Every structure is written in structure tokens, then in C-alpha cells.
Amino acid sequence: MKLDLLGDRQRTHYCGELRKSHAGRTVFLAGWVARRRDLGNLIFLDLRDHTGVIQVVCNREVSAEVHAKAEEIRAEYVVGIEGEVVLRPSDTVNPQISTGEVEVMARTLLLLNEAKTPPFPIEDDIRTSEEARLRHRYLDLRRRRMQHHLRLRHRASLTVREHMTAHGFVEVETPFLTRSTPEGARDYLVPSRIHHGHFYALPQSPQLFKQILMIAGYDRYFQIVRCFRDEDLRADRQPEFTQVDVEMAFPQRDVLFDIIEQLMEKLFALIEAKVRRPFPRLSYDEVMERYGSDKPHLGFGLEWKRVNLPEGAGEKLHVRQPIKVLRVPGWATAARSQLDKLQDLARANAADWFSYAKVGDSEIQSPLGKILGEEAVRTLAAGAEAGAGDLVLLLGLKSGSGAPGPQQRLDAASGELRLELARKLDLIKPGEWNFLWVVDFPMFEYDEKAKRFAAMHHPFTSPREEDLEKLESDPAAVKARAYDLVLNGSEIGGGSIRIHRPDIQKRVFSVLGLTPEKARERFGFFLDALECGTPPHGGIALGYDRIIALMAGESNIREVIAFPKTASAVDLMCDAPAPVDPEQLDELGINIKN
Ligand code: ASP
């Protein structure tokens, strides 16, 4: 096929912007052919660019040359069209598309390029495997939906930059080739050619750099920054992902919260969503008791309570105190099979004691009745504030199951049950944005395998001042000045007020089992900086991909990342990771083990 040259022709309009008011104008459009319909003397082309689609008419009687070229055209060919905008006859107006009242009578058609038949149609709703979409990402990204998402992301970035700048934050770029920073995951390593046997690490976050910027007097820093974590991948994790990273000196937590809440309000205004401020603040202990999760979805009720069974009942039932109870409003009608499923789910989450009570007008029905007596069951139901028509779920751990962390296990199981109930009873309403701050996290968690304490956030997080004296004597009881931002059951950010005093930093390292030598080896540069007049400081990092995905109504962050990797960390389009030439390895002084 003979192709035309674009020459010096300049597009006058985008396809999606043509309206009735353009009728009579001569326009030059350029884009991809989305569809071709051949009616003999008339050939209709749907011409697409990133703004939308317009119908182009190639009429043999207007131009035999245009018509002949149009006969050759297939989907995704690239064309330039010059012609006149005309009103469509009223019976062919298409109210489905914004340009549906007009069409363009083609007078000139430039065939700019051909295209292979695409492996899937370039449409909003396609039923094709994600693998095919990722392999041919250039075609997938052509779809309107993806165009929308990436443009939304761009506008969100502008909003972040404007907002943070208005609050006195400066964007500073921090290095990608660096030393390992401690965020608890595995590092991606980059071998050095000049220093054989030495490696850079790609940053898991700019944590230490942003703290050093505070030491250096930059006062307020932010960065929209790529972070790299070589984790065992879960469905919606990416080995490289983006954070809005924030740090400020002399921070008051509430000031930081307010800045971030305002940012969320502005971001969600981009999708015309209203955000209620201030966001609720709940302590870690409270959310674990009530919602069984440190990232609870607050869009529906269903709140657990920890209660003690009546005198002697724990022994009779062989269950540990306290148990947890949940009122499920109006679900006394639950079928046996539905309750069985919940019990299975509880077991699968290591909560091995499960029961229920159905509250009627005068009677109460529960397998516990026979063992404990009706009065005791009534007391339990009253403890859950259940009334007629409600179901009460009871969850616990059998006594004797002596594994550690029983309360955590019970809480985690209760959280899973709560989410399952919300799904089953269809309680999660779309279009509602339930933000909250979870505060006062424990400073440490006990690592059973390693038999030592690990930092729950990271080792630079400050303990609460009032807990400092317990640091060595009762680490498990120390709370951190750490916080998470949660939206609709997803953690979308986390941060803390940091340790700014070397003496406290040393004590925390020591609780973590890090000898002064080890600490020096890993973060010597940072410890040196810490001794040079470190102001109190703190910050947060927001999970930018997740926030954009929520705004775009997508459940997977891959939908809002231009070139994501699969769940097994592979880039299907460029086929990375890939082997490299032996010469490259040689230069790096690397031998690959078989
Ligand atoms: N660097 C931390 C993270 O990436 C966030 C923070 O503490 O600011 O999770």
C-alpha cells in the first residue's frame, strides 16, 4: 500500500471536540481508524484520537480518490483527514458519543501508516487476558479507559505539587543508586562495574535522605518518588511503585494531618468526590478490638467487642477469655449453611471457637443455650447490644491452644469475618470515601522466628515520650508516634514523628538487637548526621498508585501504572528481567551460579 506524507499539515482540531457549532468549518484531523463500515458508495470511518471519536464520511461522489483509499483502510491505520464538518441527518444522530450530532465529509485522506490486526479490540470493555494487555501495552494504553487513568494521574501529580508547594514544601530528588535503606523488604541490588563486588541498592524509600534534608535545614520536603522493594509479590504489589514522600521539621502531628487531609480533599475533588474532614483518629488498640484490622473499612458498622464469658462458662466451653462478639443487625434469618461458612472462615484464620445466637422477639436460639443456659446467652447478646431480629456472632480461641499472640490471632480472624459479612450482606456502598487515621501503633512487634523485637514501622520512628522509660523494661508496651492513613479498608499512607536524639536512637537500636558496630556499618552516615544538630522532624509517605487506583475506581494498581509488572515481577512487554551478555557480566566481575 502506498503511504502519504504528512508534509507540513497541522491538525486544526481534535476528534472529540467537534460539535454542532463547528458545522461548515473545514478541519484537519489526525488519528487512528477505530472502525470502518463499507456501504458501497459510502464508507464510514470512526476516527479516534485521545479526545474521542468522530465519524468521517468518504463519499465516492465527493472524492473518488478518498473513497478508493478508504477501501484499503483497516482498524488502527493512522490517517489524516481534511474535510468539512456537517450536521448529521436527524435520524443518524448518535447520542452515545459527544460528537454524535456531526460528521466530517472527507475531501482529502492521507494514509500515514498501516497497522497489524490488533490482538484485541481497542475498546473500553474488552474481555481479554491481562497477559495480552500487558504484552501489547501500547495498544492497551490506546484505550479510552487507560487514557483517562493516566491523565487523571497526571492531574493528580499537578495537584500534589501545587498543594505541597503552597504549604512551603520543596521537591528534592534523592538518589536511586544508593545504599540499602531499612524498610523491611529485600533490596534490588545494582552491581558496580568500577568497584567489583560492591553493590548499590535501589531505595525502598528515601527515608534517610528525607531525614537528612531536615537535618540540613530544608524544613519541608516532598517528592513524588519511585521506590523499589523486592518482596514476594502479592496480587496488587509492584516491585517499583510510587510514593508521595513528605517530611517536615518541628512537626506537630496535627499540622501534618491537616496538610494531608486537605491534599486528599483536593485530589478527590478531581473526581468530583466530597471528602469529610477532619478524618477520624482511632488508636491501633481500638481498631483492632472493634474492626479486627489496622486498616479498617469504616463504610459500614459491624463492630466487634471483647467480652468475658459469664463465670465458669470459659471452662465449660474450653475457651479463652476474652472472646469477641459482633451484632449483625437483622440477620437472625441466617441459614445454617451460611453460619457454617463463617465458621469455616474463622477456622481458616486460626480462630477455632465459633458460636452464634439468633435473637427473637421473646426467645433466643443458640447452640450455647444447652451448655450455658438461656440466661447466660441473653447476657452475652445484651453485651453485644443485640435486639429482636439480630444475629450475634461469638468468636474465640480454644483454651490450651497455647500459641503466642492469641489476641492478635483472634482480632485478625474477627476482621476477616467482618469483611466477609460486609460483602455477603452488600454493605459496602460505592462512591463513599471513608478516611481515617490509625494512631499509636505499638513500637515493636515480636518476631517469633528470630526471637527478637522488630520495628513495627521502621527503626527511626520515635517512641511516645511518656513510654520512654519502658523502652528496655517492657518494649511490647511501648507505643510509637506512628500513624497510618486508611481509606475504605486500604492503607494509603504511613509515617511517624522520628527520633531526633542520638541517645534515643541508640537505645532503640539496642532493643532491636542492633549492636553499635552493626548500626554503624549500616547507617553510619546517618548516625553522623544525627549528631550534627537534628531538629525534631516527622513525615509520611502516601501510596500514590493505590490512591490513584481508588480515584479511578480500579481495584488493581496495575490499571493506573503505564508499564506495570505482573504479579511475578515480569515486564511482559520488554521481557524483563532478562539474561545479559557474558561480556557485561565479565565487566562487572560476576559469575552466575548454576
Ligand atoms: N518511609 C516510610 C515508608 O515508606 C514512610 C515514612 O515513615 O515516612 O513506609
Give pLDDT tens digits along the chain (594 positions). 899 999 999 999 999 999 999 999 999 999 999 999 999 999 999 999 999 999 999 999 999 999 999 999 999 999 999 999 999 999 999 999 999 999 999 999 999 999 999 999 999 889 999 999 999 999 999 999 999 999 999 999 999 999 999 999 999 999 999 987 777 789 999 999 999 999 999 999 999 999 999 999 999 999 999 999 998 877 788 999 999 999 999 999 999 999 999 999 999 999 999 999 999 999 999 999 999 999 999 999 999 999 998 888 888 889 998 999 999 999 999 999 999 999 999 999 989 999 999 999 989 999 999 999 999 999 999 999 999 999 999 999 988 755 556 788 899 999 999 999 999 999 999 889 999 999 999 999 988 888 899 999 999 999 999 999 999 999 999 999 999 999 999 999 999 999 999 999 999 999 999 999 999 988 899 999 999 999 999 999 999 999 999 999 999 999 999 999 999 999 999 999 999 999 999 999 999 998
Closest ligand 1 atom to the C-alpha of 206?
1
Closest ligand 1 atom to the C-alpha of 496?
7
The burial of 145, by beta-carbon neighbours within 10 Å (0-12 exposed, 13-18 middle, 19 or more buried), is given as middle
Strands 304-307 and 52-59 come out as unpaired
Cα torsion 417, 423, 426, 432 to 10°: value is 100
CA 463 to CA 474: how far, in whole Å? 12
User: Which DSSP symbol is given to 368?
Assistant: T
494 close to ligand 1 (CB < 6 Angstrom): yes
In angstroms and rounded to an integer, the radius of gyration of the C-alpha atoms of the chain is: 31
493 close to ligand 1 (CB < 6 Angstrom): no
Classify the phi-psi angles of 7: left when phi > 0, otherwise alpha if psi is within -120 to 50, otherwise beta: left
Amino acid 404: pLDDT? 54
For residue 95, whether the previous peptide bond is cis, meaning omega lies within 30 degrees of 0, is no
Cell of 488: 475504605
Q: How far is CA 20 from the centre of its chain?
A: 41
Closest CA to 332 of 396, 394, 387, 413: 387
CA 130 to CA 122: how far, in whole Å? 14
Query: Per DSSP, what are the bridge partners of residue 485?
Result: 437, 493
442 close to ligand 1 (CB < 6 Angstrom): no
CA of 178 to the centre of ligand 1 (A): 17
CA of 494 to the centre of ligand 1 (A): 6
181 close to ligand 1 (CB < 6 Angstrom): no
For ligand 1, atom 4, name the residue with the nearest CA.
205
The burial of 2, by beta-carbon neighbours within 10 Å (0-12 exposed, 13-18 middle, 19 or more buried), is given as exposed
Classify the phi-psi angles of 26: left when phi > 0, otherwise alpha if psi is within -120 to 50, otherwise beta: beta
Q: Taking a C-beta distance cutoff of 8 angstroms, is the pair 155, 162 a contact?
A: no
Query: Per DSSP, what are the bridge partners of residue 393?
Result: 326, 356
Q: What angle do CA 22, 27, 31 make, to 5 degrees?
A: 115
495 close to ligand 1 (CB < 6 Angstrom): yes
Closest CA to 511 of 587, 557, 444: 444
Looking at the chain, the number of H-run helices and the number of E-run strands are 16, 22
CA distances from 220 to 95, 173, 260, 460, 531 (A): 50, 13, 13, 18, 20
CA 398 to CA 225: how far, in whole Å? 47
Convert 488-521 to b/e letters by CB count within 10 Å (16 or more is b). Answer: bbbebbbbbbbbbeeebbebbbebbebeeeebee
- Specify the long-range contacts of residues 94-98, CB closer than 8 Å, at least 24 apart: 94/55, 97/52, 97/53, 98/16, 98/19, 98/52
CA 183 to CA 207: how far, in whole Å? 8
Cα torsion 59, 63, 65, 70 to 10°: value is -20
For ligand 1, atom 7, name the residue with the nearest CA.
495
207 close to ligand 1 (CB < 6 Angstrom): yes
Closest ligand 1 atom to the C-alpha of 204?
4
Closest ligand 1 atom to the C-alpha of 245?
8
496 close to ligand 1 (CB < 6 Angstrom): yes
Q: Taking a C-beta distance cutoff of 8 angstroms, is the pair 350, 320 a contact?
A: no
CA of 190 to the centre of ligand 1 (A): 22
Instruction: Say how many C-beta atoms besides its own lie within 10 A of residue 79's C-beta.
Output: 22
For residue 206, whether the previous peptide bond is cis, meaning omega lies within 30 degrees of 0, is no
The burial of 413, by beta-carbon neighbours within 10 Å (0-12 exposed, 13-18 middle, 19 or more buried), is given as buried
Amino acid 312: pLDDT? 84
Cα torsion 215, 218, 222, 226 to 10°: value is -60
